[in-house]
Structure formats: structure tokens, C-alpha cells
Structure 1
Amino acid sequence: MFDAIRRYTGRFRVPTRPRPADVPQKRAHNLFEAAAVYVAARVEDDEDRAEEAAAWVSPEALSFGVSELACRAVVALARERDESPGAVARDLLGLPAN
């Protein structure tokens, strides 16, 4: 009886094949990782790497990630310099102080 049940339920199982260990697993990139790689590549004038990172996420997600990275960088620099974020942002962009 149990054998009949095992055969019946076995038809519904999806066979899974183990992946070989030497096959690299493709990992999804998140938007912050894409933004970090994109900005670093732009700083280093590595256009190929910047294009690769830009392809990891949608343009909107990349824009959000770059914006978030910029905000965090300005805040970190402002704390380090003991200045306001506005003053640091203006200095980074080469704008005159208010």
C-alpha cells in the first residue's frame, strides 16, 4: 500500500538535478552595489566597467543608488570636516560658499 502511495506522489515531484560545483552561479546585483561599482568605474575612467554596472539594474534604480551614495558621501565628509553638508556639497562641486 505504501509503495502505491509513493509511486502516486512521486509523479508530482519535480526532479532536481544537482548543479556541478564548477559551474559559476550567477548572482543578482542590488542597486547599491551597482551604484558603487558604477561611480568607482567613472572615477577611474573605466567605461567598460561603468557600462557593465549600469546594466545590472534599471536606469531608475541606478539613478537612485547614485543619489543615495552621493548623499551618504556628503554626510560622511561633512562629519569628517566638521562642516555643514551644504558647505561640503558646494566645495565638492567647486561652487562659491554662501
Structure 2
Amino acid sequence: MWGKVGASWGRVREVFRSGPGGGQEARGHNLFEAAAVYVSACAEDDQERIDEAAGWVSPEALSFGVSELACRAVIALARERDESPQTVARDLLGLPAA
């Protein structure tokens, strides 16, 4: 059983370390670096950098990295503003207070 778990974990790690090739070609960027470049490029409307960062890791890994970045950003802003993460997230999205 542990052999199957180890093999599955190895495949998951490869997805997060590699690009769309599914582990066949290791890239020089990790998912958090790709997410940081991708999000900052989106904020600056830089399509060339968006496309470049999107090619560094698989779409699944990029999605995970962007989600993690969003969580960390909301938490940091909430602490800075002394507000709840929910209040900050709704404010950033232009939603009415809950």
C-alpha cells in the first residue's frame, strides 16, 4: 500500500515541478514564482509576461499558486487594515459588506 502512496505522491510532485509536459521536461521555475509573475503581469496588463509565466508550470499548478497567493495577500491586507479576511476580500472585489 505504501508503495502506491509513494508513487502517487511522486506524480503529484512532478505536476507541480514541471510544465504541461507532465513531468517529461523539468522547468527552472516553481509554481509560486510562476504565480507571482503571472499575477503581477495581469495587474500590469502585460500579455507577453502572462503567456511566459503560464508556460512555466502546468495549468493546475498555476491555479494552485495563484490561489495561494490570493490567500496570503488577503491575510496580509487584513492584518494591515485590522479587518477580517472576509471583509478585505469582499472590499477588493467590490462586493457589499456581508
Calculate the TM-score normalised by the size of structure 2. 0.72
1:14-71 Cα offsets, whole Å, 9 max, x none, are xxxxxxxxxxxxx610000000000000000000100000000000000000000000
Structure 1 segments of 4 or more deviating over 6 A? none
Aligned partner letter, 2:69: L
Which residue does 1:35 correspond to in 2? 35
Count, aligned residues: 72
Q: State whether structure 2 residue 78 is matched by structure 1 residue 73.
A: no
Which residue does 1:90 correspond to in 2? 90
Q: For the pair shown, which has the larger CA radius of gyration, 1 or 2?
A: 1
Distance 1:88 1:96 in 2: 11
Equivalent position SS for 1:77:
helix
Which residue does 2:59 correspond to in 1? 59
Equivalent position SS for 1:69:
helix
Aligned partner letter, 2:80: E
Q: Which has a greater percent of helix? A: 2
Distance 2:41 2:64 in 1: 17
Distance 2:93 2:49 in 1: 24
